[in-house]
Every structure is written in C-alpha cells, then in structure tokens.
C-alpha cells in the first residue's frame, strides 16, 4: 500500500459575543491514496484495506456556551461534514462521487447543567448521530439516533464524592455501530442503564 498524502485548510474563530462563548472551525481536507475498507473479491464475507484514489472532507464545527442563570448553564457542540470519494475505482466498482460509508454528516451534543449548590451538579445530555451510508455504493443507510443521558454528582466532603449516571434515559433502541457486507449488521447500544459510585481520595 502507498502512504496517504493529505492537504488541509482550516480556519478557526474563538471569542465571546454578549453572554455567549463560541468556538468555530471551518476545514477542507483532501486525501490521496486514502485507505478504505472494501469487500474481498475472493471472499465477499471478508473486507480488506486498499488505497482508494482520492477523498474529500469538508465541514464546519461550532461550540456555543452560555450561563442562563446563577445555577443553570447551556453548552452545545455541532458538526456538519460532507465526506466523499472523489476518485475511487476498485474491483467492486466505481464509487467516485459517493459518500464515504459510516461517516454521518451531522454530529451534535448538548448539555444543560444545573448546579443548585456548590457541592451538587446535575447534567442532562443529548447526543445526536446523523444518518450515514453503510456501503460504498450508498444503497444502504442507517438513519441515525438521538440519545439522552442524565448525570449527577454530590461532593459530600473534600475527599468524598457520590456520583450517578443514567444512560439512554428514554430506553431507545439504537445501533452503537452499523456496517454492511452481504447484509446489514448492527451492534446494539445498551438499553437504559444506571451507574452509581463513590469517589474517595486518600
């Protein structure tokens, strides 16, 4: 295999506007001889890595934060990216112009933090994974998912802290990852799950 050659342009801006903090980045990345995973022509149940011509990755990332009150804070991070094959001809076909599989255009994370006391913190989190294709030909798609999580911590003493988190608050069925070879394959995410513990410093 050949080494990957990459050219990247990136422009970022960070600052404050009124009561909002912001951090944004715009980028454009081109890779030549990029590695991609394709079905092995000799065994369609297996995948192999090969150099695949040229790929492009263009996107914007934005982070925003604001203190809503003395006890409440809002933070969000958003990403939108278009990732595609510019030149990709393999034994499996010509996929030039197609979206790169397992690369969602939209990623988002939002956290609402409530701190009623200096020793107590609670967070409600929303995670969004957008839709993405599972195959090079862009014929099979995973529709993405949204998951809510709840976290809390209580600092009892300087060296003693209680914490808990409830993942997948709405008990939604979703795929932690998805792929396609001869059929769609999903790795299921965990159902509603509670974790709790104690931090002790000695």
> Looking at residue 40, what is its pLDDT?
67
pLDDT tier at 49, thresholds 50, 70, 90: confident
How many CB atoms are closer than 10 A to CB 118?
A: 7
Task: Specify the higher pLDDT residue, 154 or 47.
Answer: 154
Q: Is the separation of the CB atoms in 141 and 180 below 8 Å? A: no
Give the Å distances, CA to CA, from 192 to 53, 114, 169, 178, 201: 43, 22, 6, 20, 30
Q: List, for residues 137-191, the tens digit of each pLDDT value.
A: 899 999 999 999 999 999 999 899 999 999 999 999 999 988 876 678 889 999 9
Average pLDDT of every residue of the chain: 90
Q: Which domains does the chain have, with CATH numbers?
A: 5-200 (2.40.170.20)
pLDDT higher than threshold 80 for residue 130: yes
Computed on alpha carbons and rounded to an integer, the radius of gyration of the chain in Å comes to 22
pLDDT tier at 32, thresholds 50, 70, 90: confident
- For residues 9 and 29, give the distance between their C-alpha atoms in angstroms, rounded to a whole number: 6
Task: Specify the higher pLDDT residue, 149 or 1.
Answer: 149
Among the ranges 23-37, 113-127, 169-183, which has the highest mean pLDDT value? 113-127
């Amino acid at each position: 295999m050949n080494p990957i050659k990459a050219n990247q342009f990136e422009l970022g801006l960070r600052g404050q506007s009124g009561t909002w903090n912001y951090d944004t980045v715009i980028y454009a990345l081109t890779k030549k001889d990029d590695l991609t995973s394709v079905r092995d022509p000799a065994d369609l149940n297996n995948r192999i890595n090969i150099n695949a011509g040229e790929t492009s990755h263009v996107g914007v990332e934005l982070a925003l934060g604001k203190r809503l009150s003395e006890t409440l804070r809002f933070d969000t991070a958003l990403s939108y990216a278009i990732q595609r094959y510019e030149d990709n001809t393999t034994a499996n076909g010509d996929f030039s112009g197609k979206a790169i599989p397992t690369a969602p255009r939209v990623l988002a994370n939002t956290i609402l933090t409530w701190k009623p006391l200096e020793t107590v913190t609670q967070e409600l989190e929303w995670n969004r994974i957008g839709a993405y294709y599972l195959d090079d030909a862009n014929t099979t798609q995973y529709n993405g998912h949204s998951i809510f999580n709840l976290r809390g911590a209580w600092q009892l003493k300087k060296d003693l802290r209680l914490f808990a988190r409830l993942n997948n608050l709405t008990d939604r069925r979703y795929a932690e990852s998805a792929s396609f070879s001869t059929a769609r394959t999903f790795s299921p995410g965990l159902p509603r799950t509670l974790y709790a513990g104690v931090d002790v410093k000695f």
